[in-house]
Structure 1
């Protein structure tokens, strides 16, 4: 009877958090150790997944497009970036590069096609139409090169 009480008492003293450190025989170059903490919920031990990135920065148009693309078509890359905490930095970098590329392409194409301030003063509707075409072409180039690659 007493041994049964000891077993029950020892079962009640279950730690709610357990840390597991994987053992590695040799460390490869650039490899980092992982610590996974588990939490006991009912009869299950669930990993405590906490991202190091606590706040989500405001995302620009290109970052949102890249995020949607990663979530729908490149799930492994999205999960890897999210798990390592590099997703926000990646999205911010893509947004910055896409904005710079868009500005550069629009100005180059406008100069090449002769769309300038003089045309804007003399033929406003023609200027608007040409600039819309230039922006659409530049947007296509940016999305192909940066967003969907």
Structure 2
């Protein structure tokens, strides 16, 4: 996403900056969750693994979240 000073000023003047930023945050969170779910599904990280080996499940899910966050950051910058 590119910085656009005209769009920024228009949003500030119109009072819509918070709504715009909330929408961007929501979209980024949805993208992050979709990526995490896709990674977990691809690797077979499921509720059965969570019950069998909770520590491994937590490690994998944390790894997916960190990777997905980096992907989202790159996509939105």
Q: TM-score range by the shorter chain?
A: 0.7 to 0.9
- Select which of 61, 67, 74 maps to 1:137: 67
Aligned to 2:33: 103
Query: Bigger shift: 93-102 or 77-86?
Result: 77-86
Name the counterpart of 2:43. 113
Match of residue 124 from structure 1: 54
Q: Helix, strand or coil: the match of 2:57?
A: helix
1:78 is matched with: 8
Instruction: Quote the Cα distance in structure 1 between the aligned partners of 2:9 and 2:72.
Output: 24
| 1:90 matched to 2:20 | yes
State the superposition RMSD in angstroms.
Answer: 2.0
- What is the CA–CA distance in structure 1 between the aligned matches of 2:38 and 2:15, rounded to whole Å? 36
Report which structure shows greater RCO (CA 8 Å, sep ≥6): 2
Q: How far is 1:75 from its partner?
A: 7.4
Unaligned runs of 5+ in 1: 1-69
Unaligned segments of structure 2, at least 5 residues: none
Deviations 1:91-140 (A, max 9, x none): 12101111211111111110001111111111111111111000001111
Structure with larger Rg: 1
Q: Distance in 1 between matches of 2:72 and 2:4?
A: 22
TM-score with structure 1 setting the length: 0.44
TM-score (norm: length of structure 2): 0.79
